[in-house]
């Protein structure tokens, strides 16, 4: 638990609360389901306020789309992986065997429960400070880089800033004649469970498309 305290830069007064946040219902009673209910609302509120103040000219519709992108399951699961949350989860034997600790839904739920525990133990200001710390890099990239840099560069810079391994690109298939080849590639990053796919008339084009899909799942781009 001490390593998690360090990652959160916060020492829980009530260590049981943090333990409960990391206890999946498959592990029995006193699990994180109720905390997840509250955390979903706390996270929604803090992210909404962050967007409200960061984008003073955005319409309600734009704000709603941004919020939906930031609190989507793949994005929350990636933030949970960045915190190594999976290794602290309590799971029932069945879930443990089935690799539940790396499932997106499991990680996203635990992330919401963690937000809730931070809020109940440390108050709104502390909780908001951590949420800002986690989401600010996503906002910054959404805003500043969306038009100026290509997806592969944006993805690489984001992962480097989070001290994560670089993305792995792999060619799945090259179809067509020499003069009109069509490439299929996949892109794997440690923050996402499954690789994404991309295709195009050059390897680079296909990789850019796969990188864009990763950005989208990380909450960094709408993938449009």
Catalytic residue positions, numbered: 40, 112
Residues 190 and 78: their CA atoms lie apart, in Å, by 9
3-state class of 58 per DSSP? coil
Q: Binders of its own copies among 87-126, rule CB under 8 A?
A: 124
Chosen residue from 42, 80, 117, 131 binding its own copies by CB under 8 A: 42
Residue among 169, 167, 163 at smallest CA distance from 82: 163
Q: Binders of its own copies among 135-194, rule CB under 8 A?
A: none
Chosen residue from 29, 59, 97, 148 binding its own copies by CB under 8 A: 59
Chosen residue from 3, 49, 136, 201 binding its own copies by CB under 8 A: 49
Which range in 28-36, 96-104, 130-138, 161-169 contacts its own copies by CB under 8 A?
A: 28-36
State the residue for tokens 């943090």: 18
| Shortest Cβ 98–its own copies spacing (Å) | 22
Q: How many residues bind its own copies (CB under 8 A)?
A: 21
Residues 85 and 91: their CA atoms lie apart, in Å, by 13
Chosen residue from 26, 44, 72, 146 binding its own copies by CB under 8 A: 44
State the residue for tokens 């950005």: 215
Q: Which is nearer to its own copies, 59 or 147 (CB)?
A: 59
- Bridge-based pairing state of the strands 182-188 and 168-175: antiparallel
Residue 63 as a binder of its own copies (CB under 8 A): the answer is: yes
From residue 100, alpha-carbon distances to 3, 25, 204 in Å are 22, 12, 34
From residue 179, alpha-carbon distances to 61, 175, 176, 205 in Å are 44, 11, 8, 16
Residues 72 and 222: their CA atoms lie apart, in Å, by 11
| Shortest Cβ 211–its own copies spacing (Å) | 30
User: Where along the sequence are the contacts to its own copies (CB under 8 A)?
Assistant: 33-34, 36-38, 40-42, 44-45, 47-49, 52, 58-60, 63-64, 67, 124
């Amino acid at each position: 638990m001490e390593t998690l305290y360090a990652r959160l830069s916060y020492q829980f007064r009530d260590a049981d609360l943090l333990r409960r946040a990391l206890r999946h219902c498959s592990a029995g009673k006193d699990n994180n389901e109720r905390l997840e209910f509250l955390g979903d609302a706390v996270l929604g509120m803090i992210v909404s306020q962050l967007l409200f103040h960061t984008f003073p000219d955005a319409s309600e519709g734009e704000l709603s789309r941004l919020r939906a992108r930031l609190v989507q399951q793949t994005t929350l699961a990636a933030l949970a992986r960045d915190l190594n949350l999976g290794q602290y989860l309590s799971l029932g034997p069945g879930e443990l065997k089935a690799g539940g600790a790396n499932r997106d839904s499991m990680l996203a739920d635990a992330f919401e429960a963690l937000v809730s525990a931070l809020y109940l133990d440390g108050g709104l200001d502390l909780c908001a400070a951590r949420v800002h710390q986690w989401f600010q890099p996503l906002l910054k990239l959404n805003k500043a880089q969306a038009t100026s840099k290509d997806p592969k560069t944006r993805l690489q810079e984001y992962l480097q800033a989070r001290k994560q391994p670089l993305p792995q690109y792999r060619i799945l298939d090259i179809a067509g004649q020499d003069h009109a080849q069509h490439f299929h590639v996949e892109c794997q990053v440690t923050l996402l469970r499954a690789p994404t796919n991309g295709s195009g008339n050059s390897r680079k084009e296909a990789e850019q498309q796969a990188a864009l899909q990763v950005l989208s799942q990380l909450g960094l781009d709408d993938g449009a």
